[in-house]
Structure 1
Amino acid sequence: MDYQNEFIVAARHELETGASRQLSRRYKKGELVRVRQGVYVDKQHWLGLKPWDRYAATARAVAAENPSAEFCFETAALLWGLQMVGVPSHIHLANASRGHAGARKPSTSAATLDSSGTSGLERIRGYGIYRHYYSTDTVYLRGLRLTGPARTAVDVLARGSFTKGVTLADHAISAARFPSLFMSKAALSAAAEGLASEAKRQRVEHILSFADENSGSAGESLSRAQMHLLGFPAPELQCEFRDAMGFVARTDFFWRDQRVIGEFDGDAKYLRDEYLGGQSTREAVLAEKKREDRLRALGFKVVRWDWATANNPALFRAKLLAAGLTPQRNTLLRTIHPRTRG
């Protein structure tokens, strides 16, 4: 795919139209956003993008500006489709020269309008460039150069937190959730052998030993990692329940001894068409309530939480304690450095 067609690239526009100042005039009028030097996009389109989509578009704009750019770390992970928690602050590039390594501030901009004194981007996050002194093999994916999937995965696992690493690892090893590129734990362990330090290799192995292909979503993976760090007993994943009327539910988490069922509620469950199955949002919420009533009728306690709670250890701990779960001594926690837990 030619990602230059996604943007108005100044050099190409001038060759095709012969107009050298048309884009700068449109920029000054507030019609265009300059994503990278000489790379423009319609402002209303840019403002309408969600943060993840805007980040990916910024990476493609970098490639439109510099076709030889080689993406790595979190940027490559996003381009491969691996799930992560949070939007990275920078576009990560592999760089063979130590002298050019380091961070650069975001360059995405829009003209300030005289009538309002604003550009429209005040609440829109821009993404800087981080060039890493890192020489590695890259492959092409839809016209972009980036590190291969296994190398990308272990690079991110080696430098991120335990919770974020588990989220990515659960997705990478799941044939159900990542059918086109899923990787075995053995393949990722082999890729980790190429990491520069023993500490990084051990960090990857700790995450891989905890990773579970049965985790159903990024939010569930984040929740399970937080449970581990907080010392709560490990739940069973994706358990099925039935009553006299038949199938009731496949739940996210189940603590059999405590008879507690845990459910992670992502907004997409009620807002995205592919999850609604033809129902309205109201119908989906009512169906979920009936499902929960049937689980409670079987004698189980049901506890629910969302992204905000899963991301906040104190709130999450209080939620699980209120459900009747008790933290245990977590001997494996000693293997995870405090700075890489959250």
Structure 2
Amino acid sequence: MKRNPEIERISDDAQQRHRYFFGATPNQKRAMRKRWLAHEYVRLHPNIYTKNEYYQTLNPQERAMHLIRTLATKFPQKVFGAMSAALVLGLECPWYNAALEHAQIATEESIPKHMQGVIEKIYVHPLTFVVHDGIRVTPPERTLVDCALRYSYNQSLGVFDSALRAGIVNKQKIAETCSSLHRDCSPVQKLLHDVDGKSENGGESLCRSVILEAGFARPELQHEFRDPANLRHTFRTDFLWVCNRKVVVLEYDGMQKYTDQHMTNGHDTRQVVYKERKREEALRRAGVTSILRTDYEEVMQPRSLIQKLINSGVPMSHNPR
């Protein structure tokens, strides 16, 4: 299709601002629609587009944030809530949550039953907001409560963990928000009981949520061991249980640990694996009796993970939830 310098400029500017683009005039809208019909563009919503090749480079969270920034540019008075607000606030939102495919707009008005494309309206009363990176969002404590009431425990624990880790809210303010709503907030209370700001990332939070839901005792997070052979060397473990003279460690391995150059410090996979083996030897010297490993795939289908924990003697605190 013939080049359109004006549309290309709009597209390039949007990519630099990490958002999608839209037409402001009838001519721009027609030109963008033609390119969408020619399969050059992806259309996320009426009059919201991006280039096909650019869209394919974005992960689910990036796609969600691009949509939020676009809508905030078009409708600056709108307030984002729930998982959209959590994303804007920089909290850990699981990629597998279907909510990332939509933008949650908070409103005090009545809500139609049908979904409006990628825009999902959620009822929030009273509607207040804070401004973060130029975008209006519900306050952190209300954002967490709405996430807990709309999404599962497994999807919400990472949001709560990251909020406490970042220090943007505390348990008391969350509890006070629940009290003001005059509704059943038991999902929030459950999360407040289990939340732990020591969790380092969303993967570890997801793993812990599965462990707790299965009825296992609450693990200690990020316990630090010192290598008896070299006291200057210390190692932190993701999860730790101590019981009946057993010291059980569970490590959550994300694939980034072996492929992301920022996490491997430029080392290849063989070097990283060797370093992990030396680390395990040091942990055993420090008294660890069992070192277990898991990953995202196993956590999402946790039967084998649960069996490993049982076989290693990890204690149960209650029946599975």
TM-score normalised by L of structure 2:
0.82
Find the partner of 2:206 among 222, 241, 247. Answer: 222
- Measured at CA, do residues 291 and 188 of structure 1 come closer, stay the same or move farther in structure 2, by a change above 3 Å? same
Matching of residue 150 in structure 1 with residue 141 in structure 2: yes
Q: Could you tell me which residue of structure 1 aligns to residue 229 of structure 2?
A: 244
CA distance in structure 2 between the partners assigned to 1:183 and 1:138 by the alignment: 15
Q: Could you tell me which residue of structure 1 aligns to residue 7 of structure 2?
A: none
Question: What code does the residue aligned with 1:283 have?
Answer: Q
- What is the number of residues matched between the two proteins? 298
In percent, how many aligned pairs have the same letter?
Answer: 30
Matching of residue 187 in structure 1 with residue 173 in structure 2: yes
Note the C-alpha offset of 1:32: 1.7
Matching of residue 168 in structure 1 with residue 159 in structure 2: yes
CA distance in structure 2 between the partners assigned to 1:221 and 1:291 by the alignment: 23
Find the partner of 1:102 among 93, 113, 116. Answer: 113
Note the C-alpha offset of 1:105: 5.9
Note the C-alpha offset of 1:297: 4.5
SS at match of 1:102: coil
- Measured at CA, do residues 49 and 97 of structure 1 come closer, stay the same or move farther in structure 2, by a change above 3 Å? same
Give the root-mean-square deviation of aligned CA atoms: 2.6
Residue 161 of structure 2 contacts residue 196 of structure 2 at CA under 8 Å; is this kept in 1?
A: yes
CA distance in structure 2 between the partners assigned to 1:133 and 1:46 by the alignment: 30
Residue 103 of structure 1 contacts residue 131 of structure 1 at CA under 8 Å; is this kept in 2?
A: no
Note the C-alpha offset of 1:165: 2.9
- Measured at CA, do residues 221 and 283 of structure 1 come closer, stay the same or move farther in structure 2, by a change above 3 Å? same
C-alpha offsets along residues 66-102 of structure 1, whole Å, 9 cap, x if unaligned?
333321111111111111333333321123321x433
Question: What code does the residue aligned with 2:33 have?
Answer: S
Matching of residue 277 in structure 1 with residue 265 in structure 2: yes
Note the C-alpha offset of 1:19: 5.7
Q: Could you tell me which residue of structure 2 aligns to residue 88 of structure 1?
A: 98
Question: Structure 2: where are the runs of 5+ without partners?
Answer: 1-12
CA distance in structure 2 between the partners assigned to 1:51 and 1:250 by the alignment: 30
CA distance in structure 2 between the partners assigned to 1:51 and 1:101 by the alignment: 26
Q: Which runs of 4+ in 1 moved over 4 A?
A: 2-5
SS at match of 2:119: strand
SS at match of 2:98: coil
Q: Could you tell me which residue of structure 2 aligns to residue 114 of structure 1?
A: none
Matching of residue 11 in structure 1 with residue 11 in structure 2: no
Residue 7 of structure 1 contacts residue 61 of structure 1 at CA under 8 Å; is this kept in 2?
A: yes
Residue 51 of structure 1 contacts residue 87 of structure 1 at CA under 8 Å; is this kept in 2?
A: no
CA distance in structure 2 between the partners assigned to 1:138 and 1:328 by the alignment: 39
Q: Could you tell me which residue of structure 2 aligns to residue 122 of structure 1?
A: none
TM-score normalised by L of structure 1:
0.77
Q: Could you tell me which residue of structure 2 aligns to residue 314 of structure 1?
A: 303
Q: Could you tell me which residue of structure 1 aligns to residue 3 of structure 2?
A: none
CA distance in structure 2 between the partners assigned to 1:213 and 1:19 by the alignment: 47
Note the C-alpha offset of 1:304: 0.4
Q: Which has the higher contact order (CA 8 A, sep 6+)?
A: 1
Residue 240 of structure 1 contacts residue 248 of structure 1 at CA under 8 Å; is this kept in 2?
A: yes
- Measured at CA, do residues 249 and 37 of structure 1 come closer, stay the same or move farther in structure 2, by a change above 3 Å? same
CA distance in structure 2 between the partners assigned to 1:3 and 1:148 by the alignment: 27
CA distance in structure 2 between the partners assigned to 1:218 and 1:20 by the alignment: 39
Question: What code does the residue aligned with 2:169 have?
Answer: M
Question: What code does the residue aligned with 2:301 have?
Answer: N
Question: Structure 1: where are the runs of 5+ without partners?
Answer: 107-127, 334-340
Question: What code does the residue aligned with 1:133 have?
Answer: Y
Q: Could you tell me which residue of structure 2 aligns to residue 266 of structure 1?
A: 254
SS at match of 1:40: strand
